[in-house]
Amino acid sequence: MKLRLGFYPYTYARVAVMKSRLLKKQQLHTYLKMGIHELMRALQDGEYKAEMSELHPEKNTLVQLESALNRNMMRTFVKLKRISDDKVQHVLSIYFLRHDIENVKTIVRAKAAGAPAEEITPYLLPSINHPDELYVSLAGKESVADVIEALPFHVDVGDKADDLLYVENKLDRYYIDQLFFLSKNLAGQGNVFRAFIQAELENLNIKIVLRLLRAGLHSGDIQKLLIYPSQPILDALGRDVSETLQKLAALGIVKDVSDYLAVEMEIDTQLLKREAQLMHQYPLTVNVILGFMLAKEIEVRNLKILLKGKKLNIDNAQLERLVVGA
């Protein structure tokens, strides 16, 4: 059944206001120069005040800091969903599935490593779609197979629950399939939404290729784990990271091939630019909302990198290379 979205000037106007509050490039550069306590005070004086104020300035861990940033992000997304109509809320619920999938992957990794539930839950994202009790329950399961069986959605891993790479790939595929199914049934705005998905999928496949090559997997095995790869991605798959980076550069997909991290930051920055272009071309579509959410997620990730770097005394030059859009 086709889902037809209307035009929602009020929602888009509110999103524009929220987008204006995202950290600017100059602010990121200013934060790079700060010490850990100065950075935390700056966050406490801005959009992250409510969550950062709950932390004692001298008694906090990286897990607590990251949890505070995650809560702020989810508070923003809850507000976004609240100001949207039922049809847009349905689209957002499917997009927010990405956070549920990340939670499940965190849990299955921990189960595979034998971690107890109390060590898992602090690392989980608040969920828009499901109550916290669901993830507490999943974290308490005995095995990866038990976790997959208890999911509120169906992911078939057959008898390969012990193959963590296979399980994570099936979870990613489930999420992408849900997005594509939605785009096919999204009347009017389906093509624009599909362009948004394709941009993210291209980004994801490049990361899969580079990460698995670094882990020592053969290119033939990696190709089986790619999710609806485009022909350029298949053409760029080489025998090792160096050859693949050179092919990506020759195809014009990336420019900076100095190292793996530089490429990850570059493709994330390119993704932001692509979404910004889509929002500019289609100012009254759901892509405006999705683009804002992606930008918010990257902002939170940047702040996590800065806080972790300051905690670990990583020099500013190296941190700047890790921050998307800096």
Q: Are 292 and 18 in contact (CB under 8 A)?
A: yes
| pLDDT at 223 (0 to 100) | 93
Single-letter amino acid, residue 217: L
| pLDDT at 152 (0 to 100) | 94
Residue from 168, 169, 167, 150 nearest 158 by CA: 167
Specify if 183 maps to a domain. Answer: no
Specify if 36 maps to a domain. Answer: no
CA angle 270, 204, 99 (to 5 degrees): 105
Please give the residue range of the domain that contains residue 252.
Answer: 191-281
> 172-223 pLDDT, tens per residue?
999 999 988 888 877 666 677 787 788 888 988 998 999 999 889 998 899 9
What is the value of pTM for the model shown? 0.82
Q: Are 273 and 285 in contact (CB under 8 A)?
A: no
Specify if 269 maps to a domain. Answer: yes
How many domains in the chain?
A: 1
Specify if 259 maps to a domain. Answer: yes
Q: Are 302 and 323 in contact (CB under 8 A)?
A: yes
Residue that has been written with the tokens 């990286």 in this structure: 62
| pLDDT at 326 (0 to 100) | 58
Q: Among residues of the chain, what percentage have pLDDT more than 90?
A: 41
Q: Are 44 and 52 in contact (CB under 8 A)?
A: yes
| pLDDT at 176 (0 to 100) | 92
| pLDDT at 15 (0 to 100) | 86
| pLDDT at 279 (0 to 100) | 63
Q: Which residues of the chain have pLDDT under 50?
A: none
Specify if 300 maps to a domain. Answer: no
> 19-43 pLDDT, tens per residue?
899 998 899 899 999 988 899 889 9
Specify if 135 maps to a domain. Answer: no
Taking the C-alpha atoms of residue 290 and residue 93, their distance in angstroms, rounded to an integer, is: 11
| pLDDT at 58 (0 to 100) | 58
Which CA distances in Å does 286 have to 74, 81, 133, 169?
Answer: 19, 12, 30, 27
Specify if 246 maps to a domain. Answer: yes
